[in-house]
Amino acid sequence: MADPDLLAPLLAIPGVTDVLVNAPDSVWIDRGRGLERRDLQIGGPEDVRELAVALAAAAGRRLDDAQPTVDGRLPDGTRLHAVLPPIAEGSATISLRRVRERALTVEELVDLGTLTPELAHLLALLVRTRVPLLVSGGTGAGKTTLLASLLSEVDPGERLVLIEEAGELRPRHPHVVRLVERRANVEGAGAVGLARLVREALRMRPDRIVLGECRGAELREVLAAANTGHRGGMTTVHANTAGDVPARLHAMAALAGLDAAQLSLQAAAAFAVVVHVARERGGRRVVELGLIEADAAGLHVLTAWRRDGGAVSYGPAWRALAALASREAA
């Protein structure tokens, strides 16, 4: 049987977040500067398959012809996704995502170029004053990394309840309770989804409820929690730009059985500020801040701050955003 630790040296490279195996001779890593090909040969296609099966077993999951895809977590917290042929053409594919053991501070994000000093100060103020935030971005843009850093700015006297598909968030905070989704077993029973976990969190005396990623019908529960006195919540969504966030929220609202009017009434209060992060050639960057507003036409994101390369510009919502932070801090 293949050694499930075969890829461990790649995961141990400083800064590596992802290890990707596309074929026996196609192995890649990502350490924040784009994908890099590694000089590693994993035998032949059968060896890649055996490695994928071994990793799945280490994660306590099943991977075979009857169950040709797997999504799980290795004992060290690394996230695993694998697909077997013929679903994956030619060779099994393996995707590993390393979970950061500790959250970066906002100062470290400034050093990395993810945040500007001005933005770091503003975001920390918004967090401390319980302004609800929605972090948006594409796959691998750094949403979880940024969210964990922002959660580290929460007052240590507050109780955080984190709800995730997999336990990736590791904020520097003394009072954290983690709830992790459980998928159905091979018989299709035993699932505990994100929506139920949000409802459970409401009974746990939370100061803040944080959903690692909002991706579907659980939006209904998130909106309900945010509009019943639990201020300062945060979540992430997949979106290509900050301006695309309303469309994503509408799509999720439809899955939850909410119409546009119901969404508009609740979303602006639940997610006051959008923080958009993108993966660029030089690394991961926060590139836009916006305010979510609702009017007769629906939801909109009004740009407050934008970064294009090294140039920073201020949009029509900048004064309103600064006033929001100042008002909440008063």
Distance of CA 83 to the CA centre of its chain: 22
User: What's the pLDDT tens digit per position in 144-165?
Assistant: 999 999 999 999 999 999 999 8
User: What is the arithmetic mean of pLDDT over 120-133?
Assistant: 95
User: What is the arithmetic mean of pLDDT over 128-139?
Assistant: 94
User: What's the pLDDT tens digit per position in 172-201?
Assistant: 999 999 999 987 776 778 889 999 999 999
Confidence tier at 329 by pLDDT (50, 70, 90): low
Say what the pLDDT of residue 1 is.
60
Say what the pLDDT of residue 328 is.
63
In this structure, which CATH number among 3.20.20.70, 3.40.50.1970, 3.40.50.720, 3.40.50.300 belongs to the domain 106-329? 3.40.50.300
Whether omega for the bond prior to residue 86 falls within 30 degrees of 0, making it cis, is yes
d(CA 121, CA 314): 16
Q: Can you state the angle between helices 117-128 and 318-329, rounded to 10 degrees?
A: 50
User: What's the pLDDT tens digit per position in 32-72?
Assistant: 777 899 999 999 999 999 999 999 999 988 999 999 999 98
- pLDDT over 80 (residue 330): no
The model's pTM is 0.85
Q: What percent of the chain has pLDDT over 70?
A: 98
Give the CA-trace dihedral at 268, 143, 289, 222, to 10 degrees: 10
- pLDDT over 90 (residue 268): no
Say what the pLDDT of residue 186 is.
67
Q: Are 218 and 212 in contact (CB under 8 A)?
A: no
Q: Is 224 exposed, middle or buried (0-12, 13-18, 19+ CB in 10 A)?
A: middle
Residue boundaries of the structural domains of the chain: 8-97, 106-329
User: What is the arithmetic mean of pLDDT over 12-21?
Assistant: 92
Give the class (CATH, top level) of 8-97.
alpha beta
Q: Are 238 and 249 in contact (CB under 8 A)?
A: no
Closest C-alpha among 74, 240, 95, 213 to residue 148: 213
Residue 234, CA atoms < 13 Å, CB-side half-sphere: 29
Say which range, 16-25, 142-151, 231-240, 281-290, has the weakest mean pLDDT: 281-290
